[in-house]
Amino acid sequence: MDIHGIALDGRQVLAYHDHNGAAQRPRLLKELAAGKSVAYASEAGTPLIADPGFQLGREVAEAGHLVTSAPGPSAVVAALSISGLATDSFFFAGFAPTASGQRQTFFRSLDDVPGTLVFYESPNRVAKSLADMVKVFGPDREAAMAREVTKKFEEVVRGKLGELADTLSSRKIKGEVVLLVSRGQAAHFDEADLESLLAVALKEGSVKDAVANVVQETGMPRRRVYQLALAMEKDT
């Protein structure tokens, strides 16, 4: 603030970091609830990207306060900063294919990426992409749609994928859109566990149905389950 000639005029400057975050967040939320504004600035790069401010941004958003970005270098980073999703590791996947089948295959290839997934999307395809994401990733992954980030009509819609798909299915979306999906939280199943589940499922239906049932039951990446199912089919 000194560099830019901005007088403090009695405003407080507080340190916020990993060691004091738990104590500082309630204090800052109290200030916001009182109608004050809080500016968060990082001394080590863009705020909230692999930065201790992630939890602060998330809790402020959950409390219903506006979280916005004083424009970052790109929509990817700006949207990620205010999405409420983890920022320690993320993968920018660009635009998904326009055809539904190819789009689902594309999403499936990213199912086991150990980080938040970030996509650009045409406003006309948001509903279709979200519907395909639900089919591939399931309805329970945390997600967000960031629209017109840093502009007059900026909007962030947060929730589980199924909720977003329902909420935005009939809405007319305008502007530049970024879709974000949290990393999978699959439980750990070893090969023997998956083989046992697949053996039962394959007796009751096709490979496609068996894979879908086991993926839904375990939360494991579809690609891994599918490859194992094919190998088991080949050996029988």
The CA distances from residue 14 to 23, 57, 152, in Å, are 12, 16, 29
**Per-residue confidence band for 72, with pLDDT thresholds at 50, 70 and 90:** low
Query: For the whole model, what pTM was predicted?
Result: 0.68
- pLDDT of residue 46 exceeding 80, the answer is no
Instruction: Note the pLDDT tens digit of each residue in 222-231.
Output: 888 888 999 8
Look at residue 95 in the predicted model and tell me its pLDDT. 94
d(CA 208, CA 108): 14
d(CA 222, CA 24): 41
Bridging pattern class, strands 116-121 and 177-181: antiparallel
